[in-house]
Structure 1
Amino acid sequence: MRLFLALLLTLMPLEAAAQPVAILPVKLLDTSHEARDQRADHDRRLALMAEVIAAELGDTVAITPEDVATCQPETTECLLALARDKGADQALFIVTQKTSTLILQMFANLVDVQTGAPILSRNLNFRGDNDDSWRRAARFLARDIQPD
């Protein structure tokens, strides 16, 4: 009987493997109107956010700015096709809005690349325009969107 159960368990389908997620370049909408030019800092933090999310999620595919540049005009359909071509099942779109040095908001949408259907949407607020706060926000988002 034990042998029969062991054989039966080996024939049962395994839990679905994690679906590869394409992480598109994170975008920034800076409405803070701060006097100091912070583009270099923000470019670094945008890349940091994508790196942290990729590390936390595990099975990811990077879509580079050079990849995105091939989509002219930059439409959702073209971006989803890029993600499909890279072998992803889902695509993560993130826009971060900076309203001041203290207040930032992240809008994240996870989309099925085959159908374009939204899987989930998150709007997260975080405080502080520095590497640590961006890293914490990225880590929180990645953990929030991981399947249970």
Structure 2
Amino acid sequence: MKRLLSAACLMLLASSLSAAAAEGTGKVAFLGLVFLDTSTEGDYNGIREDEAQRLELLEEEVRKRFLAEGYDLLDLGPIAEELENTVNPADCYGCDFRMAEKLGAEYVLVGVVQKVSNLILSMNLVMKDVETKDVTHARSVDIRSNTDDSWLRGMRYIMKTAFFKE
């Protein structure tokens, strides 16, 4: 009976945390998006300016949507140097949580756009509860075409289907 009661309490707590995240409340440390070029093109030609601009475009899209949904996106100034020295905040052995804690965030938000080829890209966005270290929202999507429109369509799909139900 105690196990059943404990499990019920944990489920209630988890649903209340997810409900708070779904309602658009809370302080979020959005650590940005990382571009990983695993195609051979990047090895030969380096970073393409249009892809760097697209990454900025996506970051702005994410910021606008989270602000519109009522989240408080925290100023990253206090962790700017640490963030700049982090290759990938989405894969850094907990540095994302440590940076978010320094900011007093309730949630940390990170994402990756991976270029497999000039035709195939994969993107993901993950939001985690800083206190519990649990993932509250996450989605990954593969896109075809390396254009502003395809990148925006992919990120909007992620936010629409996993973060903000429309």
User: Taking structure 1 as reference, are residues 62 and 106 closer, same or farther at Cα in structure 2, changes over 3 Å only?
Assistant: farther
Match of 2:74 in 1: 61
Match of 2:112 in 1: 95
Distance 2:57 2:133 in 1: 26
Report the Cα offset of residue 53 of structure 1. Answer: 0.8
Distance 2:111 2:82 in 1: 16
- Aligned to 2:59, what secondary structure does the other structure show? helix
5+ long unaligned stretches in structure 1: 1-14
Match of 1:6 in 2: none
2:35 is equivalent to residue 20 of structure 1: no
Q: Which has the larger radius of gyration?
A: 1
Aligned-residue RMSD, C-alpha: 2.8
- Aligned to 1:26, what secondary structure does the other structure show? strand
User: TM-score normalized by structure 2?
Assistant: 0.65
5+ long unaligned stretches in structure 2: 1-18
Q: Give the counterpart letter for 1:47 in structure 2.
A: E
Identity of aligned residues (%): 30
The structure that is helix-richer by fraction is: 2
- Aligned to 1:24, what secondary structure does the other structure show? strand
Report the Cα offset of residue 100 of structure 1. Answer: 1.3
* C-alpha distance after superposition, 1:33-91 (max 9, x if no partner): 1254443222222221111011112122364764413669x744332122233242111
Count of residues paired in the alignment: 133
Q: Give the counterpart letter for 1:111 in structure 2.
A: K
- Aligned to 2:111, what secondary structure does the other structure show? strand
